[in-house]
Every structure is written in C-alpha cells, then in structure tokens.
C-alpha cells in the first residue's frame, strides 16, 4: 500500500478529475474513478464534483451522526448545490496543493459504493498536515478507516515530503482515538472546550505523528 499515487500530477487522478457526473441519487460510482486500492474490496478516489450526487446522498443519511463529531460541519442536511460548491473548493485546494480530498469506496454489485472520506489539510511551508476521516456506520469494523489513513500517511510522508501530521478529535470519540493509537500517533495534549457545538463545548485531544516515526514503524 506504500507509495500510492494520490497527487494532482498522477495520471490516474487527471482521468478522474475530468470524469462526467456519476452516481445519480444513490451513493454509487463506477470503477472508472478508481485511484488507490485499499485491498481487494475498497479504494480511495478523488472527492470531486464528478461524484457530487453520490457524495450528497452519503452525507444525507449520515449527517445527524456526523454532527456529533464535527462542530463546524454537518449541522444540517446537505443540498446538492452546497455539496457541489464544497467539492469545487476542495478540488481547487487540491490543485493548489493545500488539501488532499478523497472518498472511500467499496465494491458493490453495480460498481463502487461511497462509504466515507479521508482528508489531508496541507501546510506546505511548515511541511505539516492534518488528517481527518469519517465512515458510514454500516461499514465500521472492517478496517476501512485504518487502511485509508495509512494510504494518506504514506503519501504525506512520501511524495509530499511532510515532516509532521496532526490528528484532532473530541475526547469522547473512542473510535477515532483508537485509529490514532493504532497508527502510532502520540497524544500531545488536550484543548479544553475547544470544539464549539451548537449546544455545548467539548474538549479536543491532539495527536501528532512525525515522518521518522512512520518510517520506523514501516520497517
């Protein structure tokens, strides 16, 4: 899984960025958008306007659950117009080198089904980044997030040449914290009441992972 081609210069990415609109009203995309394998049953694909309808459908059935963990997003049902605008901004950030927006897809009878996403925010001058992710509840427990974040970290510490990647989550998000521990992140501190939700404030736990730590774990 190491040394995956996820950047804007990769030929597979160029094909998927220019793909026609797919997905209709169901969270399904075709294998033509395949980018990075996550084993035999899943893949990472670019999160672009080409899959806006499928992405909106996925978020729509998950937004109430996601609102529990994301204080600044998913607080109301998504619209197709808003989804397209968000994906356009993410695509522009990809081209500018400040973000790596990806969707997690699994094999389905009719192609590939969107089940979540992985994201990397990139600070080029500081050679640092911050990884984020979420997954449809029905697909938890299959190691998909661990595989997806592993591929993102391979790219971050490989082709992108980052020195450090951070991960932040609320202290009560046990699944997300388990991912951080499993992948070798170090807990660096707690930001008290830093996550402002509509009805409360919660503590954020901050994790960090250095390039040398990732390479050592790989060996």
Residues in the chain: 219
pLDDT at 19 over 90: no
Least confident segment among 21-25, 53-57, 159-163, 212-216: 21-25
pLDDT at residue 67, rounded to an integer = 78
58, containing H or E segment: helix 52-66
Q: What is the pTM of this model?
A: 0.83
Q: What percent of the chain has pLDDT over 70?
A: 82
Structural domains in the chain, CATH included, are 36-218 (3.40.630.30)
pLDDT at residue 167, rounded to an integer = 98
d(CA 172, CA 158): 31
Mean pLDDT, the chain, rounded, equals: 83
Angle formed by the axes of helices 211-218 and 144-157, nearest 10°: 120
Q: For residues 180 and 167, is the Cβ–Cβ distance under 8 A? A: yes
Measured CA to CA in angstroms, residue 91 lies from 52, 103, 144 at distances of 12, 12, 23
pLDDT in tens, 99-111: 999 999 998 887 8
d(CA 166, CA 71): 18
């Amino acid at each position: 899984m190491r040394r995956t081609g996820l950047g804007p210069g990769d030929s597979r990415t160029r094909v998927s960025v220019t793909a026609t609109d797919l997905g209709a009203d169901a969270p399904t995309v075709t294998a033509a958008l395949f980018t990075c394998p996550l084993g035999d049953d899943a893949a990472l694909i670019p999160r672009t306007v080409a899959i806006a309808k499928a992405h909106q459908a996925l978020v729509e059935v998950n937004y109430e659950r996601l609102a529990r963990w994301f204080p600044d997003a998913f607080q109301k049902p998504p619209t197709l117009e808003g989804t397209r605008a968000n994906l356009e901004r993410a695509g522009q950030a990809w081209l500018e080198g400040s973000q790596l927006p990806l969707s997690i897809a699994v094999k389905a009878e009719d192609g590939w089904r969107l089940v979540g996403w992985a994201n990397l925010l990139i600070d080029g001058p500081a050679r640092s980044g911050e990884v984020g992710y979420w997954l449809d509840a029905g697909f938890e427990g299959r190691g998909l997030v661990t595989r997806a974040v592993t591929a993102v970290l391979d790219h971050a510490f490989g082709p992108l040449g980052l020195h450090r990647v951070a991960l932040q989550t609320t202290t009560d998000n046990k699944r997300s914290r388990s991912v951080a521990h499993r992948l070798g992140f170090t807990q660096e501190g707690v930001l008290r009441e830093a996550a402002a939700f509509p009805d409360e404030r919660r503590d954020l736990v901050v994790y960090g992972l250095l390039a040398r730590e990732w390479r050592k774990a790989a060996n």
